[in-house]
Amino acid sequence: MKAATEWNVYRTRFLVRARQLTEPLSFVDVLGREHRGDTGDYVVESSDGSRRIAPREIFEDIYVVMDEMDDQCSIIARRDMLDQSRRAPSRRALMA
């Protein structure tokens, strides 16, 4: 059997905020979905403000905590990329 494509390496695209539960928690989100978590699971907040509960084994397999320095570097890198995209190309770059 021949594989359709080669294996690729992936990473998650989005930054999330999360906290580990110290006791069981359940809640209903704005869409009416019920979420339940046990001690050790994580409450995960996405950039759009939505919250969900992720089982500890899955969360810790997917996410790596960013330290304060990583977070600052990420903010600076995004700002620099935005600044570069807004700048018009220089005359020298256009002539090259």
Chain segment 22-70, per-residue pLDDT in tens = 999 999 999 999 999 999 999 999 888 899 999 999 999 988 887 765 5
Look up the domain containing 60 and give its range: 17-95
pTM of the predicted structure, to 2 decimals: 0.60
Is residue 8 domain-resident? no
Counted domains in the chain: 1
E-assigned strands of 1-96? 17-20, 25-28, 34-37, 42-45, 51-54
Is residue 33 domain-resident? yes
- The band of 5, judged by pLDDT with boundaries at 50, 70 and 90, is low
d(CA 37, CA 55): 7
Is residue 67 domain-resident? yes
d(CA 91, CA 88): 9
Q: What are phi and psi of 66, to 5 degrees?
A: -95, 135
Is residue 59 domain-resident? yes
